[in-house]
A and B are shown apart, each in its own frame.
Chain A
Amino acid sequence: MSTASRVAWINDSYTKMTKYNFFSRVNWGRFSVVAVPYLWLAIFFFIPFVVVFKISLSEAAIAVPPYSSVLDWNLEEAYITVKISLSNYLFLLEDDFYVSAYLSSIKVAAISTFFTLLVAFPIAYLMARTEGSTRALLLALVILPFWTSFLLRVYAWMGLLKKNGLINETLMSMGLIDQPLVMMQTDFAVYIGIVYTYLPFMVLPLYSALEKMDMTLLEAAEDLGARPYQSFFLVTLPMAMPGVIAGCLLVFIPAVGEFVIPALLGGSDTLMIGRVLWDEFFLNRDWPMASAVAVVMLIILVLPIMLIRNGQGKEGAA
């Protein structure tokens, strides 16, 4: 390359660089649309979480706020101390109480999710199969309970389930039972409450998955010799799987941390992590311990989701 052409080339590249620099290439309109929700998440989720995580590494103290500081510095004497305490986490593992609270929460959430799926699937299936105004009506019926207060609905269940509640009264007057059934303050009541409350979160993703399904697939399965129940398990269910996964996550995750339903419907022996968290904060005033409980709960919930998403991503790429 001659000097002249080299100079020309450099000049050319330079104009190209200035012409297509970063700032002119970023679509600022699009960027800001995406940035707003992320900023929201950062301010109201990520930063508070970091604060909670920091508190979980401190120790309870009689002070305001009631915990020791992790980071201490003194500029005059030029020192910074970082004091990280893992005792809260160790205590979580050592004490059976917390471990069993976690396990019990997961158990309650898992069983409730399963039953929610069982109840929601036929509803979603029917909605996906009907047309026009009937479909709109069914959809409205699913969403309608959201229009009344969540607490009100749980209290309504108390009225139904209690000793002299509507269910017991009816059964006794029909002569089917002579002793009232004990339904309140049991795990059963908690399951009912969770299934009832979270049903729409399961129905809607299932419905959207089933609605997209091509009906001729079922005809094809039948044509190839599949009985209706086989068609269901071999075609409908796999096709609805994205909806099943989404719905189960939407029910399972909040159910693990559920506090109100077990507190109102469950008994004293219904041990759930949401309640433990409440007690640590408000009864024991042990903020660091409560924070550690919260952090571990988040990890327990996030890990399986990440594994599922990772698995889905791989399948999609294959």
Chain B
Amino acid sequence: MTSPQKIDPSNIGEQAQIKLPSWKTDAKPFVQIENITKKFDDFTAVDNISLDIYENELFCLLGGSGSGKSTLLRMLAGFEAPSSGRILIDGIDMAGIQPWNRPVNMMFQSYALFPHLTVNENIAFGLKREGIRGTEVKKRVAEMLDLVQLGHLGKRKPNQLSGGQRQRVALARSLIKRPKLLLLDEPLGALDKKLREETQFELINIQDELGVTFVVVTHDQEEAMTLATRIGVMNHGVIVQTDEPHEVYEYPNSRFVAEFVGSVNLFQGEVTTDEPDTVCVTSTEAGGVLCVNHGISCAPNQEVHVAVRPEKVRISEQRPDQPFNCIEGNILDIAYMGSLSVFKVKLPSGKEVRVTQPNINRESGGRFTWDDKVFLSWDMDSCVVLTS
């Protein structure tokens, strides 16, 4: 993962103090979004969002289509004016500042490369608008081409490049002005899966190397997880959760986040035990008592959902020795995916539960077969209780 707080354990002694990521310190945020609302006629695309983004962050706005993530990005770039609220970049209010005057560059989803210009001319476009000419332009274009490993393609036109190469040209073009803030709209959306995985890491390396603050818009939760230092999950114009990828995945704060980021099994139930370190939920849907070993703010008898990720569920033929978080069902479907197997287990209540098991050895995929009676169990700290 990319979290900058990752520290080589052997070095800890030498370092006087562990450097916290900037969003955990009281550092001044680099981008301050304050109560931003954007309305198109009667449709509210962005609804009163406040968000701080810190220097050197790689912040991902994650959401489905129509969630308002692109509108928020376009307001940062200056292509849309907020209906209310304000945006500060590096302490300067961006109201009324035109896109061409903002210390911000954007990489477009469609790349928006100028088809009539060569790769070199495309990359140099921004520099020339600053009045930079001659050898300086050549030098910096060459640097950028090296950075994105396209040194040999400078004289080509965009239509003579592959999708991956175009993506790199677009990245180089948006970075050449050394913006303090780079906005990326679905940067990897047009690439095929394999290329996307490679490019993700390159993007992180480049961000690391240049120390630019990135704001990435994506609908792909995997992409967000790999890239981001923090993720803001958006739904209906609102950021529903902002946190590090790990936190968003392990501790989603709502059913929406739990279901949008990764896949999840949700069991409806009623709170029966509410203690500071244990919360138990009786769920007829699951057919048992489900317990979590951390407190939540809820009342007894409250309707809640217990969420557990498919990979955290154990599957066994024998009833495991635990009084809760253990339910039984029959295997409805099996999908062998190579590295892991996916089981769909049907509970007596009719609920289907998704379980993934890594195929640790060659035979583990064939342990169970259709209609087998199995027991599903998980640890107390593997699930979360969701009140909304």
Do the two chains bind? yes
Whether the Cβ atoms of B129 and A230 lie closer than 8 Å is yes
Whether the Cβ atoms of B129 and A217 lie closer than 8 Å is no
Q: Which chain A residues numbered 218 to 249 have a C-beta less than 8 Å away from chain B?
A: 219-227, 230, 234-235, 238-239, 241
Whether the Cβ atoms of A238 and B79 lie closer than 8 Å is no
Whether the Cβ atoms of B114 and A222 lie closer than 8 Å is no
Residue A216 CB within 8 A of the other chain: yes
Whether the Cβ atoms of B116 and A224 lie closer than 8 Å is no
Residue B336 CB within 8 A of the other chain: no
Residue of B nearest to A235 (CB): B114
Residues of A with C-beta under 8 A to B115: 239
Residue B299 CB within 8 A of the other chain: no
Among A214, A219, A220, A235: residue with most chain B CB under 10 A:
A220
Q: Using known A-B contacts A216-B112, A217-B112, determine if residue A225 contacts B106 with beta carbons closer than 8 Å.
A: no
Residue B201 CB within 8 A of the other chain: no
Cα distance, A214 to B111, chains bound together (Å): 11
Residue of B nearest to A226 (CB): B129
Whether the Cβ atoms of B177 and A225 lie closer than 8 Å is yes
Whether the Cβ atoms of A225 and B126 lie closer than 8 Å is yes
Per-residue CB contact flags for chain B residues 67-101 toward chain A (1 = under 8 Å, else 0) read: 00000000001010000000000000000001110
From B99, B110, B113, B116, contact of A223 by CB (8 A): B99
Whether the Cβ atoms of A226 and B110 lie closer than 8 Å is no
Whether the Cβ atoms of A223 and B129 lie closer than 8 Å is no
Chain B: residues with Cβ within 8 Å of the partner, total of 22
Residues of A with C-beta under 8 A to B126: 224-225
Cα distance, A222 to B77, chains bound together (Å): 10
Whether the Cβ atoms of A220 and B114 lie closer than 8 Å is yes
Cα distance, A241 to B114, chains bound together (Å): 14
From B100, B114, B116, contact of A227 by CB (8 A): B100
Residue B105 CB within 8 A of the other chain: yes
Whether the Cβ atoms of B112 and A225 lie closer than 8 Å is no
Among B105, B125, B126, B173: residue with most chain A CB under 10 A:
B125
Whether the Cβ atoms of A216 and B108 lie closer than 8 Å is yes
Residues of A with C-beta under 8 A to B105: 223-224
Among A216, A225, A226, A235: residue with most chain B CB under 10 A:
A225
Residues of B with C-beta under 8 A to A220: 106, 108, 112-114
Residue B130 CB within 8 A of the other chain: yes
Q: Using known A-B contacts A222-B98, A224-B105, determine if residue A217 contacts B77 with beta carbons closer than 8 Å.
A: no
Residues of A with C-beta under 8 A to B108: 216, 219-220
A237 to chain B, nearest CB (A): 10
Cα distance, A136 to B116, chains bound together (Å): 29
Whether the Cβ atoms of A225 and B130 lie closer than 8 Å is yes
Residues of A with C-beta under 8 A to B100: 222-227
Cα distance, A224 to B106, chains bound together (Å): 8
Q: Using known A-B contacts A224-B105, A224-B125, determine if residue A219 contacts B79 with beta carbons closer than 8 Å.
A: yes
Cα distance, A35 to B110, chains bound together (Å): 42
Whether the Cβ atoms of A219 and B112 lie closer than 8 Å is yes
Residues of A with C-beta under 8 A to B112: 214, 216-217, 219-220
Residue of B nearest to A318 (CB): B157
A245 to chain B, nearest CB (A): 13
Among B104, B113, B114, B174: residue with most chain A CB under 10 A:
B114
Residue of B nearest to A220 (CB): B112
B179 to chain A, nearest CB (A): 9
A186 to chain B, nearest CB (A): 40
Cα distance, A235 to B125, chains bound together (Å): 11
Cα distance, A163 to B106, chains bound together (Å): 59
Cα distance, A227 to B125, chains bound together (Å): 12
Cα distance, A216 to B108, chains bound together (Å): 8
Cα distance, A235 to B112, chains bound together (Å): 11
Cα distance, A243 to B125, chains bound together (Å): 24
Cα distance, A288 to B106, chains bound together (Å): 66
Residues of B with C-beta under 8 A to A214: 110, 112
Cα distance, A214 to B110, chains bound together (Å): 10
Q: Using known A-B contacts A222-B100, A223-B106, A226-B100, determine if residue A238 contacts B77 with beta carbons closer than 8 Å.
A: no
Residue of B nearest to A223 (CB): B106
A residues apposed to B, CB below 8 Å:
214, 216-217, 219-227, 230, 234-235, 238-239, 241
A-B contact pairs, 11 of them (CB 8 A): A216-B110, A219-B79, A219-B99, A220-B113, A223-B104, A224-B105, A224-B126, A224-B174, A225-B177, A238-B116, A239-B116
Known A-B contacts: A216-B108, A216-B110. Give 12 more (CB < 8 A): A217-B112, A219-B106, A219-B108, A220-B114, A221-B125, A222-B99, A222-B100, A223-B100, A225-B130, A226-B100, A227-B100, A235-B114
State the 4 A-B residue pairs at the shortest beta-carbon distance, nearest first.
A225-B129, A224-B126, A220-B112, A216-B112
